[in-house]
């Protein structure tokens, strides 16, 4: 458990209490996350996020968040937002980083700074349909953490490993996830 002097801003007590409560109410652990995308023009779209479902009822973020996506000028587009594939990197980086903070709190390790650089390599011969043996998505993603904390290198590496083990986005990217697409 956390030493009382350590404060990474994560309420581990509340999370452990939630874990106990959900053990007895597994239906409440079923969440649905949502996003609603509207095409604007060309490859430019705007996606809004606010409502979700969990703990047995409708929930919402304090505000509606809006995200623009587009293709860059070198793809003959207008770069009115980042690309869809970069949104995946944001999800991965932020998920692993939040995990590092939560695990550090639980292990009594004070963090001073955490930076994660994420790089995804992609051969665009896939999406352009030049070579059907080339996949559309990333060949490979590399995450590099630089962490300053009151802990040994070994303990810091263990923090990151535990964050990976519990990361939703790491799981979504590294393992197959079923996606069904329909038109109404």
- Nearer to a second copy by Cβ, of 109 and 141: the residue is 141
- Using CB under 8 A as the binding rule, whether residue 47 contacts a second copy is answered as yes
* Interface mask toward a second copy for 4-43; x: CB under 8 A: ----xxxx--xx--xx--xx--x--xxxxxxxxxxx-xxx
Least separation in angstroms between residue 153's CB and a second copy is: 7
Interface pick for a second copy out of 4, 5, 133, 181 (rule CB under 8 A): 181
Strands 140-149 and 57-69: unpaired
141 and 122 in contact (C-beta within 8 Å)? no
- Of residues 138 through 177, those in contact with a second copy by CB under 8 A are 138-147, 153, 156-157, 160, 164, 166-177
Identify whether the C-beta of residue 105 lies closer than 8 Å to the C-beta of residue 8: yes
**Which token pair is 56?**
């047995």
Residue 2 or 138: the one with the smaller Cβ distance to a second copy is: 138
C-alpha 42/C-alpha 78 separation (Å) is 9
Over the window 97 to 136, marking each residue x when it contacts a second copy by CB under 8 A and - when it does not, the resulting string is xx-xxx--------x-xxxxxxxxxxxxxxxxxx----xx
- Tell me the number of residues near a second copy by CB under 8 A: 124
Q: How far is CA 37 from the centre of its chain?
A: 18
In the bound state with a second copy, the residue whose beta carbon lies nearer, of 3 and 64, is 64
What's 6's DSSP letter?
-
The one-character DSSP state at 137 is S
Least Å distance, CB 150 to a second copy, is 15
User: Could you tell me the smallest distance in angstroms from the CB atom of residue 35 to a second copy?
Assistant: 4
Inter-residue contact 78 to 70 (CB < 8 Å): yes
Rounded to 5°, the CA angle 131-136-139 comes to: 100
Rounded to whole angstroms, the Cα distance separating 1 from 57 reads: 31
Among 4, 5, 133, 183, binds a second copy (CB under 8 A): 183
Q: Which of 2, 85, 107, 108 binds a second copy (CB under 8 A)?
A: 85
């Amino acid at each position: 458990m956390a030493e009382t002097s350590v404060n990474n801003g994560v309420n581990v007590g509340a999370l452990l209490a939630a874990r106990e409560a959900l053990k007895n109410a597994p239906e409440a652990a079923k969440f649905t996350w949502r996003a609603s995308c509207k095409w604007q023009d060309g490859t430019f779209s705007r996606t809004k996020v606010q409502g979700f479902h969990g703990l047995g009822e409708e929930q919402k973020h304090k505000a509606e968040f809006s995200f623009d996506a587009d293709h860059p000028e070198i793809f003959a587009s207008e770069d009115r937002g980042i690309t869809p594939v970069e949104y995946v990197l944001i999800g991965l980086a932020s998920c692993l980083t939040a995990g590092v903070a939560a695990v550090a709190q639980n292990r009594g390790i004070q963090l001073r700074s955490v930076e994660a650089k994420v790089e995804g390599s992609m051969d665009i011969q896939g999406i352009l349909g030049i070579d059907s043996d080339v996949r559309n998505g990333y060949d490979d993603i590399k995450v590099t953490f630089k962490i300053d904390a009151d802990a040994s290198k070994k303990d810091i590496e263990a923090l990151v490993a535990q964050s990976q083990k519990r990361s939703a986005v790491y799981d979504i990217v590294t393992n197959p996830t079923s996606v069904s697409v329909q038109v109404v």
